[in-house]
Amino acid sequence: MMRKGISLIAAFALTASLFWGIAGPAGKAEAARLGFDENDTIYQIMVDRFHDGDKSNNATGAMIRYAENSEEDFRYMKGGDWQGVIDKLPYIKGMGYTAIWISPVAEPQVTSRDNNGTGRNTAYHGFNVKDPNKANPYFGTKEKLKELVDSAHDLGIKVVIDVVPNHIGDYMYGTNNYYDIPGLEPAAPFNNPSWYHHNGDIDWSLVDGNYTQWAQDYIENHDLAGLDDIDHDNAAAKNAIFKSIKDWFDYTGADGMRVDAAKLIKPSVIRELEQYVGVNSFGENFDGNAEFVSRWVGSNGEWGMLDFPLFFQILNSFAYGQSFDTTLKPTLAQDHLYKGNENHMVTFIDNHDRNRFLTEVGGNVQKLQNALTFIFTVRGVPVVFQGTEQNKGNGNGAIITGGIADTWNRWSMVKRDGNGNVITDYFNPNTDTYQLVAKLNKLRQDYPALRTGKQREMWSAANLYAFSRKIDSGAHAGDEVIAAFNNSGNSMTQTIPLRAESALTVGTTLTNLMNPSETITVQAGGVSGKQITITVNGNSNKIYAVKKTAGDTEAPTVPGNVKAVLNGTTGADVTWTASTDNVGVTGYEVYRNGAKIATVTGTSYSDTGLQPNTTYTYTVKAKDAAGNASSFSNAATITTPGGIPDTEAPTVPGNVTAALVGSTGAQISWTASTDNVGVTGYEVYRDDVLLTTVTTTSYQDTNLQPNTTYAYTVKAKDAAGNVSGPSDPATVTTPQGSTVTIYYKTSFATPYIHFKIDGQNDWTTLPGVAMTPAAQPGYYTVSLPVGTSTGITAAFNNGSGTWDNNSGNNYRFSTGTWTLVNGNIAEGEPQTDGLTFTVNVPSDTTESDTVYIAGDFNGWNPADPAYQLTRQADGTYTIKLDLAAGTTISYKFTRGSWASVEANSNGSDIGNRTKTTAGGGESVTATVQRWKDR
Contact 33, 253 (CB under 8 A): yes
176 pLDDT higher than 60: yes
All domains of the chain, ordered by start, with CATH? Answer: 39-439 (3.20.20.80), 447-545 (2.60.40.1180), 560-639 (2.60.40.10), 654-733 (2.60.40.10), 738-827 (2.60.40.10), 834-931 (2.60.40.10)
Helix H or strand E segment including 811: strand 811-814
Which pLDDT tens digit goes with each residue over 317-350? 999 999 999 999 999 999 999 999 999 999 999 9
Give burial (CB, 10 Å; 0-12/13-18/19+) of 249. Answer: buried
Contact 319, 357 (CB under 8 A): yes
Which pLDDT tens digit goes with each residue over 421-464? 999 999 999 999 999 999 999 999 999 999 999 999 999 999 99
> Against a cut of 0.75, is the pTM above it?
no
Which pLDDT tens digit goes with each residue over 111-134? 888 877 777 788 899 999 999 999
Q: Quick one: residue 561, left, alpha or beta (phi over 0 = left, psi -120 to 50 = alpha)? A: left
**In sequence order, what DSSP letters do the residues of 26-45 get, joined into one string?**
SSPPPPP-----TT--EEEE
9 pLDDT higher than 60: no
Helix H or strand E segment including 704: none
Mean pLDDT of the 233-254 span? 95
358's CB contacts (< 8 A; 6+ apart) are 364, 365, 368, 388, 391, 392, 393
- State the alpha helices, DSSP H only, in 832-929: none
404 pLDDT higher than 80: yes
Percent of the chain with pLDDT over 70: 96
Please give the single-letter amino acid code of residue 297.
Answer: V
Please give the single-letter amino acid code of residue 736.
Answer: Q
pLDDT (0 to 100) of residue 550: 64
pLDDT (0 to 100) of residue 803: 87
Contact 545, 618 (CB under 8 A): no
Q: Residues 800-809: contacts with CB within 8 Å, 24+ apart?
A: 800/322, 800/323, 800/326, 800/767, 802/748, 804/746, 804/748
User: Whole-angstrom Cα distance, residue 415 to residue 422?
Assistant: 6
Mean pLDDT of the 14-32 span? 37
Read off the pLDDT band of 30 (50, 70, 90).
Answer: low
Mean pLDDT of the 516-538 span? 95
Q: In whole angstroms, how far apart are CA 730 and each of 1, 694, 699, 711?
A: 18, 17, 13, 6
Contact 754, 802 (CB under 8 A): no
Q: How many CB atoms lie within 10 A of CB 230?
A: 24
Q: What average pLDDT does the structure give for the chain?
A: 90
29 pLDDT higher than 60: no
| DSSP three-state, residue 840 | strand
Instruction: Specify which of 386-400, 574-588, 638-652, 907-921 reaches the highest per-range mean pLDDT.
Output: 386-400
Contact 169, 117 (CB under 8 A): no
- Of the candidates 573, 576, 628, 629, the one whose C-alpha atom is nearest the C-alpha of residue 603 is 576
22 pLDDT higher than 50: no
- Give the range among 77-91, 149-163, 380-394, 675-689 with minimum mean pLDDT: 675-689
User: Whole-angstrom Cα distance, residue 782 to residue 752?
Assistant: 9
**In sequence order, what DSSP letters do the residues of 490-533 get, joined into one string?**
S-EEEEEEPPTT----TT-EEEETTSTT-EEE-EE-STTSEEEE
Angle at 469 between CA 465 and CA 470, to 5 degrees: 145
pLDDT (0 to 100) of residue 753: 93
pLDDT (0 to 100) of residue 725: 95
Regarding predicted confidence, which is higher, 158 or 586?
158
Q: Is the dihedral of CA 48, 54, 57, 60 positive or negative?
A: positive
User: Whole-angstrom Cα distance, residue 245 to residue 566?
Assistant: 30
Give burial (CB, 10 Å; 0-12/13-18/19+) of 646. Answer: middle
Radius of gyration of the chain (CA): 33
pLDDT (0 to 100) of residue 677: 85
Give burial (CB, 10 Å; 0-12/13-18/19+) of 208. Answer: middle
Mean pLDDT of the 797-823 span? 87
User: Whole-angstrom Cα distance, residue 457 to residue 459?
Assistant: 6
CA max distance for the chain? 118
- State the alpha helices, DSSP H only, in 66-141: 82-87, 89-95, 114-117
Total residues found in the chain within this entry: 934
Q: In whole angstroms, how far apart are CA 895 and each of 170, 437, 859, 904, 932?
A: 62, 81, 16, 15, 10
Distance of CA 541 to the CA centre of its chain: 28
pLDDT (0 to 100) of residue 654: 94
Regarding predicted confidence, which is higher, 100 or 21?
100
Which pLDDT tens digit goes with each residue over 750-790? 999 999 988 777 788 778 889 999 888 888 999 888 877 78
Percent of the chain with pLDDT over 90: 70
SS3 per residue for 603-620: CEEEECCCCCCCEEEEEE
Strands 816-821 and 738-745: parallel
pLDDT (0 to 100) of residue 31: 62
Which pLDDT tens digit goes with each residue over 266-310? 999 999 999 999 999 999 999 999 999 999 999 889 999 999 999
pLDDT (0 to 100) of residue 775: 85
- Give the range among 95-109, 497-511, 687-701, 851-865 with minimum mean pLDDT: 687-701
User: Whole-angstrom Cα distance, residue 510 to residue 516?
Assistant: 9
pLDDT (0 to 100) of residue 23: 29
67 pLDDT higher than 90: yes
